[in-house]
Amino acid sequence: MSASRGAVVWMTGLSGAGKSTLANALHRRLKEAGHAAIVLDGDVLRRGLNADLGYTPEDRTENLRRVAHVAALFMQQGFIVIAAVISPEHRHRRSAREIVGEGFVEVFVNAPLKVCEARDAKGLYARARRGEIAHFTGISDPFETPLAPDVVIDTERMPVDECVDRLLAHLAATGRLNG
C-alpha cells in the first residue's frame, strides 16, 4: 500500500450535487492506486453514529462536529478521508477545518438547485417543497456557498472521471499523496 500523509477531503454541496457519487469514485481510484482511503458519507453516518440527531441547527452542528473528529482520527493514521456532507454553513466548514487541521481540503461540489432537484431520485426536494421535511437545505434552510474552497467541482458540466482527476491532481500537488 502506498503511503500518504493523510488528508480529509471535505465535500460540501446541496443534496443531489453529486457528493456521494464523487466520493465513491475518488475512493475507488485511491484504493486502485494503493492508498489507504475511506468514505464518510453523511447519509450513512446519520443511520448509525449520528442516529440520535435530527436536522435542527443544533443537531446539524453536532453531526458535523462528530464527522470532523472521526475524519481527523483516520487522517492521523494516514488515511485519505473523503467526507461527503452537506455542511451548509460557513461556520460548519470553518469548525471542521479547525478540528482536522493541516490536511483539510474543502471541496465545493457545485450544482445548481434545479439540477439537484432533477437528480433527486428519492423525491426529497418535492417533499420539502410540500412542507413535509423541515430544515431541508436549499429549500427551507439556507446553503451558504463556500467563500474560498480549495477545489470547486462543477458536477453539472464535468463527468465524474474528470472530477476525480482534478481532485487527485490537487492532492498530489499539495503533497498529500506519495507514490
Q: Summarize pLDDT for 31-74 with one digit per residue, the tens.
A: 999 999 999 998 888 899 888 998 888 999 999 999 999 999 99
pLDDT tens digits, residue range 105-150? 999 999 999 999 999 988 989 999 999 988 889 898 999 999 999 9
Binding residues: 13-20
Task: Let me know if 87 is a catalytic residue.
Answer: yes
In which region does residue 47 sit, left (phi positive, over 0), alpha (psi from -120 to 50) or beta (all else)?
Answer: alpha
Q: Which domains does the chain have, with CATH numbers?
A: 7-173 (3.40.50.300)
Binding residues for ATP: 13-20
Which of 2, 87, 95, 140 is catalytic? The answer is 87
This prediction's pTM: 0.93
